[in-house]
Amino acid sequence: MDHTVFIYVLDDKSRILMTFPGGIDGKTLAKEIRRFL
């Protein structure tokens, strides 16, 4: 069974803006989100 986890970043209308694999490093995730904002 595949337990793949993804982290989704949504806008205020619940549209998916970004998708990250669940195993992504926290610092990398934060950097990507900051770049988007």
Instruction: Give me the residue spans of the domains in the chain.
Output: 6-36
- The pLDDT of residue 21 is 85
pTM of the model: 0.56
| Residue 19 pLDDT > 70 | yes
Name the 3-class secondary structure at 5.
coil
Q: How far apart are CA 37 and CA 32, in angstroms?
A: 9
The whole-number average pLDDT for the span 16-34 is 87
Q: How far apart are CA 17 and CA 19, in angstroms?
A: 7
Name the 3-class secondary structure at 15.
coil
Ramachandran angles phi, psi of 25, nearest 5° = -65, 140
